[in-house]
A and B are shown apart, each in its own frame.
Chain A
Amino acid sequence: MTKIMVIPKNRKMIDNLINKSDAFLIGIENLSVNLPAYYKLNEVEEIVTFLKNNNKQIFVSLNMNIRNENLELLESTMQKLNDMDIDGILYYDMAVLNLWKKHQFKYDLVWAQEHFATNYDTCNYYNSLGIKYGLLSTEITLDEVKDIVKNTNMLLILPVFGYLPMFTSFRHLVNNYLDYFDHQKSGNNYYMEKEGKKYPLIDDNNGTFVYSGNIINGLAETIQLKEVGLDYILLNSFLIDDQKFEKIVEMFNTLDKDNVDELDNEIFDMFGNVDKGFLYKETVYKVKKND
């Protein structure tokens, strides 16, 4: 049975969605990126207690690229999380995996190198190292997702709703630009625009991050994904209005073959800038000269 995993925007949203989600994914200050909220460890502890009291799963993302100077923080955070009843940790940097093995922490790991989980062989590679879960890339087609599901024992998570990360940098690319041309900085949130398409852009303490211009909406495809046995669909509230997002989660809860078209149209009417990402679009990599 396919579970619903949600990335909530705030603590209140966790309360509001407690009966509509099977699992929650949250971030931690200074060790997570590309998430709508980053919590302190004591806040995580409270959230874990609340979710466990409600028989929900809780995953924590430690998906930042780690410098040596952050290893101590990483290790102590992983240790403290081990004392909580969390289900899994998402990782990008192999430091997390190495420390997990070294200390034999009890929680499971989620391979979350967001653009790298594009084939079942590599899922199986990490699975053979004891990694239970994998967060699939969104740059692959629906058919590729189905093939991966069929060919690995790894439990798979696929983002099917939300803005998608496209670019992660240590550099402060907006701040540098504003600084160079003597502009005042105005918060962390910006947009970059080309040919009428706007891309959310964030420059914060951790660097610069760019997101897809459109919200991916895989609601209709979720029916097929359930049929092939995908383990989790992931719904992300990042940059989306709270009420609208909660409505979306409700829709995924009530989704069936009879109402799928109606719900799909409703989502389009709510946002406008929704698309299917790469679910039906293959990328190329060999092009003609001057292409």
Chain B
Amino acid sequence: MIKKRKKPELLAPAGDLVRLKWALNYGADAVYIGGSMFGLRANATNFTIEEIKEATSYAHNLGKKVYVTVNIILHNQESEQLLSYLKDLEEANVDAIIVGDPTVIDVAIKNTNLEVHLSTQQSTLNREAVAFWKNQGITRIVMARETSREDLIDIINNVDIEIETFIHGAMCASMSGRCVLSNFLTARDANRGGCSQICRWEFDLKDENNNLIESEKDFTFCTKDLVMLKHIPEMMDIGIASFKIEGRMRSIYYIATVVSTYRKVIDEYWNNPENYQYNKEYEKILSNCANRESIDQFFDTTCNKDYQYYIGREEISNQDFLGVIKEYDPKTKMATVEQRNYFKIGDEVEIFGPNIDTITTTIEEIIDENDENIEVVRHPLQIVKIKVDYEVFPDNLIRKKC
């Protein structure tokens, strides 16, 4: 029997200050962000040092944490700016840095008081490797995405260190750090944040005699995304310290939806483990905001054909995100809404947020900015009022009913 340990942290991605606030407000215990240098999402918006200061101040006021990725694999000379950058991060009060190249570990530990987490780029899978990194001063390991249940149990039972695992989002088809397809095919350095996602490309597949293997769809490495919702209670029992959501370039809607859904599952199990029941409705909510089909990947199995993604949708699927509540008048029960996607009278919708139980309602009345009743809301960012019988709050979100 595995002993239950302390409540795990829910760790969310944040591409900018706006998304950082949404992630924290919707239930994340911590966020990870990229600074202006040395991060593996070189093409995301990323944070200036001033913004990082604002981020830590905002998070710390809520009793939450901010980690900064410093996880590129360095080339010569790049380390020249490293020390001053790390000093800036220390001064900005970040709670930890996430590191891939040991040079960064070395410089950080010798010259700063920064806590250092090891990035998944090192593909750490076993207790010996974890023990090695612990001896180098690492306080938390972000495990390889390939780590199984048995690996996690073995490591947690044998090495006293915080373990962080991915629970949701896109997967690499390769071992992290062992793919340089992007370098060779597009001259973009995968280990310095330039990955061009060749694993999503299609290729002709030929046998060793150069015969084309023809199929309904061309060959691709493309894998389904990760969803660990149903395994969360077991992962909590195993003693994982931090549950990580992938996707620093995702929308506020995606972040709010994924964070709030995992928040509920963690809290429901933590508060009442004996009577916990898995709610399949949560799966539907996550599925509706996903880019691809999702599955539980390596935790439970060796990934077979069912884990690949050959046929299916591949798009930013935020169509079920209808709008953001800007204001609510309890007297008139009218909510002011900023539109994100088309909706109309008669649509069944859900309103959710960190400060309310999810409300299911039908759109019965819509009033535009000229105080005229309208049937449909079709313009992006259009401001309208809708009737909602229950109290809602600014930054609650409206989505189509699952």
Contacts and interface: CB of A to CB of B under 8 A. Distances in A.
A118 B74 contact: yes
B204 A285 contact: no
A167 B181 contact: yes
B125 A65 contact: yes
A121 B178 contact: no
B76 A147 contact: yes
Nearest to B101: A122
A94 B132 contact: yes
Interface in A165-181: 165-181
A12 interface: no
B356 interface: no
Chain A interface residue bracket vs B: 35 or more
B174 to A, nearest CB: 4
Interface in A89-134: 92-95, 97-99, 101, 113-116, 118-122, 125-126
A115 B191 contact: yes
Contacts of A227: none
A224 interface: no
Contacts of A186: 207-208
B9 interface: no
B128 to A, nearest CB: 4
B127 interface: yes
Residue among A101, A114, A186, A284 with max Cβ neighbours from chain B (10 Å): A284
A253 interface: no
B219 interface: yes
> Which applies to chain A's interface (DSSP): helix, strand, loop or mixed?
mixed
Interface string B249-278: 000000000000000000000000000000
Interface stretch (A1-9, A21-29, A67-75, A258-266): A67-75
Given A167-B180, A171-B173, A181-B216, A71 B43 contact: no
A168 B213 CA distance: 22
Residue among B76, B144, B175, B217 with max Cβ neighbours from chain A (10 Å): B76
A125 B102 contact: yes
B175 A176 contact: no
Given A94-B133, A177-B219, A168 B101 contact: no
A184 B76 CA distance: 47
Nearest to A69: B150
Nearest to B212: A193
B179 A171 contact: no
A278 B188 CA distance: 12
B126 A283 contact: no
B342 interface: no
A8 B190 CA distance: 30
Contacts of B124: 94
Nearest to A285: B194
B126 to A, nearest CB: 5
B74 A180 contact: no
Interface string B21-56: 000000000000000000000110000000000000
B175 A168 contact: yes
Contacts of B192: 283, 285
A99 B128 contact: yes
B402 interface: no
Contact of A122 (B103, B122, B131, B173): B103
A246 interface: no
A61 to B, nearest CB: 14
A119 B74 contact: yes
Contact of A212 (B150, B184, B308, B310): B184
Interface stretch (B299-307, B327-335, B363-371): B299-307
A190 B205 contact: yes
B302 to A, nearest CB: 8
B175 A169 contact: yes
A99 B208 CA distance: 39
Nearest to B102: A125
Given A118-B75, A125-B102, A283-B189, A177 B207 contact: no
Contacts of B183: 139, 166, 278, 283
Contact of A119 (B76, B122, B133, B189): B76
B173 A169 contact: yes
B304 A173 contact: no
A181 B218 CA distance: 10
B7 to A, nearest CB: 26
A194 interface: yes
Given A94-B128, A119-B79, A171 B223 contact: yes
Given A192-B205, A192-B206, 9 more contacts: A68-B125, A94-B133, A151-B76, A167-B181, A177-B308, A181-B215, A198-B206, A278-B183, A285-B188
Interface of B: 42-43, 72-76, 78-79, 101-103, 106, 122-129, 131-133, 135, 144, 146, 148, 150-151, 154-155, 173-175, 177-181, 183-185, 187-194, 201, 203-208, 210, 213, 215-217, 219-221, 223, 298, 302-305, 307-308, 310
- What 7 A-B pairs have minimum CB-CB distances, sorted nearest first? A285-B194, A95-B128, A283-B189, A192-B203, A94-B129, A168-B178, A98-B132
24 contacts: A67-B151, A70-B126, A95-B128, A95-B132, A115-B190, A116-B73, A118-B191, A119-B74, A126-B102, A166-B180, A166-B184, A167-B173, A167-B180, A169-B178, A170-B298, A170-B302, A171-B223, A180-B308, A180-B310, A186-B207, A189-B207, A194-B203, A285-B188, A285-B194
